[in-house]
A and B are shown apart, each in its own frame.
Chain A
């Protein structure tokens, strides 16, 4: 029994939320549908932890779906790289589900809640499938499963604010164009290599140096994934989608959705095309590096001038994605490891910030703006305290998780003789303090409405856990750092 379980873990991680999503929709009761969703995400989280332990022993698991042997059949690959996004997605989705219990019925009418949970699980299944699959076309299918489910989830915010519909529409159109571009790329690669399996692609590409169809296919794939990962300037869908989605959905999407796509970006750059070195080096130097640096500043400056808080956090996400892609763009082992460290830390930071801000804004009618928040920090001290810790972590103060990722990022830039990039990173982090302080000031220093709000443990329990992670991984980051370095070594291997 245990043996069968461990053998099939790679597919069980994806199947568990996928199958329960079909049952959740049938349950009319809010409480029971929530219980089933929580159970399903918890089991998925357990599976991913088991998978983590399995990876420590085997270091590479290849799972042939339906016993059709790769490269003909669809292969699921779990290695030391893939395990990082799997842990992030399954962990954060579990905490976000706990958080959703109280907040969901406030924003969405009762009869559609079980359907929302069904979409919720579908989105999680799509994201997990995205990172486990080793087949380029299967990846597209999961990309669309997750993005269509997230679009529908964002559109559920329309009961609070009708702009959610436009946000969801834009997300759908831009996302679908991105996914279609990715499919064109896969098609071109299939046309010249005759395979869809990623490992097989790597081997066959090495014989085709400077083939024009190869370069075109690579370009289409990268652009398609960059749209999904919201790399500047293809991030245009992100601020609106995060701002108008229901609170719980914002938490889930902000912490997980772009991480999966960033992982795919890293895998395409460093694993699938590892043999066409010139192509990759040029892409990193002339496309991804400049875009990441612009993203770092554009995101931060947009956040400084923004007054809608959820949009502000979304703009800050664009800047943080800039840090991650910047780390990939430098392309040494240390910098790619720094990218993965920041990917993990950003997930817990942004998850925490979005939970804190949406529970602070729980009593605000429609839109959480900077003026609305005044004095709320004193009314809700526990939530406010966690918010401050997560903010400090985002700014990169020592003893928080954010500091560790900035430290390794700057170390990596300096060791590859790019001091000016290190200086730019420091300037951008310093600027991020401006918008974080703006929020803290308004919440704590200003006089607010005289209201008494009793904080609900059901809401802040997951916030406290995530905040604890923010501090814990600031003190003892060895788990994340070692995992990321192993991942980076696996990705670029003996290349550098």
Chain B
């Protein structure tokens, strides 16, 4: 029981990281911290894939006819290379959006921003015309 639990410690780390990341995305109100959470969440999935690919005692997957050995699966590594690129693109886009939000709203806290938006929305609906930048500090 214990040995089988400890034997898959990679997976425990993966799922701890996954939950930490997801918690940060859901629980934090700061837009920057959400992106940190998202990155941790994605990285945990990368680790999950890498763990699938590893075989105990497996060699690197290099074509060599003289040695008839067990080798690790190279495909997950390649998939993760692609996923890393996607992750970098997501993070870059997210960070640039946060920068823009900060310059427009003067804050990256969700509560501040939704309060500003609510006032904005209310004004638009009631008066029928746009009241631009009224509450911007």
Enumerate chain A interface residues (CB-CB to B < 8 A).
Answer: 137, 140-141, 144, 148, 151-152, 155, 158, 162-163, 165-166, 168-169, 172-173, 176-177, 179-180, 183-184, 187, 190-191, 307-308, 365-367, 369, 371-372
Task: Specify which of B22, B49, B124 is in contact with A366 (CB 8 Å cutoff).
Answer: B124
Closest residue on chain A to residue B41 by CB atoms? A180
Task: Specify which of A141, A144, A308 is in contact with B90 (CB 8 Å cutoff).
Answer: A144
A103–B42 Cα gap in the complex (Å)?
38
Contact A148–B128 (Cβ < 8 Å): no
Contact B104–A187 (Cβ < 8 Å): no
Task: Specify which of A151, A165, A173, A308 is in contact with B101 (CB 8 Å cutoff).
Answer: A165
Q: How far is the CB of A444 from chain B (nearest CB, A)?
A: 18
Enumerate chain B interface residues (CB-CB to A < 8 A).
Answer: 18, 22, 25, 31, 34-35, 38, 41-42, 45, 48-49, 52, 76, 79, 82-83, 86, 89-90, 93-94, 97-98, 100-101, 104-105, 113, 117, 120-121, 124-125, 128-130, 132
Other than A155-B100, A172-B90, A184-B48, give 13 A-B pairs with Cβ distance below 8 A: A155-B97, A162-B105, A166-B113, A172-B94, A173-B35, A173-B38, A176-B94, A190-B52, A191-B52, A308-B121, A308-B124, A367-B121, A371-B128
* Residues of B contacting A: mostly: helix
Q: Which one of B18, B34, B101 has the highest number of Cβ atoms from chain A below 10 Å of its Cβ?
A: B101
A205–B119 Cα gap in the complex (Å)?
53
Q: How far is the CB of A270 from chain B (nearest CB, A)?
A: 26
Q: Provide a sorted-by-A list of 30 A–B residue pairs whose CB atoms are within 8 angstroms.
A: A137-B82, A140-B83, A141-B86, A144-B86, A151-B97, A152-B93, A158-B100, A163-B120, A168-B97, A169-B31, A169-B97, A169-B98, A172-B90, A173-B34, A173-B94, A176-B42, A176-B90, A177-B25, A177-B41, A179-B86, A180-B41, A183-B45, A184-B18, A187-B49, A190-B76, A366-B130, A367-B121, A367-B124, A367-B130, A369-B125
Contact A371–B125 (Cβ < 8 Å): yes
A152–B94 Cα gap in the complex (Å)?
10
CB-defined contacts of A166 to chain B, threshold 8 Å: 101, 113, 117
A298–B34 Cα gap in the complex (Å)?
28
Contact B117–A163 (Cβ < 8 Å): yes
Contact A180–B104 (Cβ < 8 Å): no
Contact B41–A172 (Cβ < 8 Å): no
Contact B125–A307 (Cβ < 8 Å): yes
Q: How far is the CB of B116 from chain A (nearest CB, A)?
A: 9
A-B interface pairs (CB < 8 A), number: 89
CB-defined contacts of B94 to chain A, threshold 8 Å: 169, 172-173, 176
A373–B82 Cα gap in the complex (Å)?
47
A160–B34 Cα gap in the complex (Å)?
26
CB-defined contacts of B48 to chain A, threshold 8 Å: 184, 187
Closest residue on chain B to residue A374 by CB atoms? B128
Q: How far is the CB of A112 from chain B (nearest CB, A)?
A: 13
Q: How far is the CB of A44 from chain B (nearest CB, A)?
A: 24
Q: How far is the CB of A152 from chain B (nearest CB, A)?
A: 7
* Residues of A contacting B: mostly: helix
A151–B136 Cα gap in the complex (Å)?
25
Contact B83–A183 (Cβ < 8 Å): yes
Q: How far is the CB of B13 from chain A (nearest CB, A)?
A: 15
A169–B42 Cα gap in the complex (Å)?
17
Q: How far is the CB of B72 from chain A (nearest CB, A)?
A: 13
Given contacts A168-B97, A307-B125, contact A148 B45 (CB under 8 A): no
A155–B105 Cα gap in the complex (Å)?
14
A74–B49 Cα gap in the complex (Å)?
19
Contact B90–A165 (Cβ < 8 Å): no
Given contacts A141-B86, A166-B113, A190-B52, contact A180 B121 (CB under 8 A): no
A375–B48 Cα gap in the complex (Å)?
59
CB-defined contacts of B86 to chain A, threshold 8 Å: 140-141, 144, 179
A235–B89 Cα gap in the complex (Å)?
23
A163–B114 Cα gap in the complex (Å)?
9
Contact B52–A141 (Cβ < 8 Å): no
- Give 4 nearest A-B pairs by CB, closest first: A366-B130, A371-B128, A162-B104, A191-B52
A163–B120 Cα gap in the complex (Å)?
9
Contact B128–A169 (Cβ < 8 Å): no
CB-defined contacts of B104 to chain A, threshold 8 Å: 158, 162, 165
CB-defined contacts of B22 to chain A, threshold 8 Å: 177
CB-defined contacts of A367 to chain B, threshold 8 Å: 121, 124, 130
Closest residue on chain A to residue B124 by CB atoms? A367
Contact A180–B124 (Cβ < 8 Å): no
A165–B31 Cα gap in the complex (Å)?
12
CB-defined contacts of A190 to chain B, threshold 8 Å: 52, 76
CB-defined contacts of B42 to chain A, threshold 8 Å: 176, 180
Closest residue on chain B to residue A311 by CB atoms? B121
CB-defined contacts of A366 to chain B, threshold 8 Å: 124, 130, 132
Closest residue on chain A to residue B38 by CB atoms? A176
Contact A141–B38 (Cβ < 8 Å): no
CB-defined contacts of A169 to chain B, threshold 8 Å: 31, 94, 97-98, 101
CB-defined contacts of A177 to chain B, threshold 8 Å: 22, 25, 38, 41
CB-defined contacts of A369 to chain B, threshold 8 Å: 124-125, 128
A148–B93 Cα gap in the complex (Å)?
8
Contact B52–A172 (Cβ < 8 Å): no
CB-defined contacts of B120 to chain A, threshold 8 Å: 163
Q: How far is the CB of A316 from chain B (nearest CB, A)?
A: 18
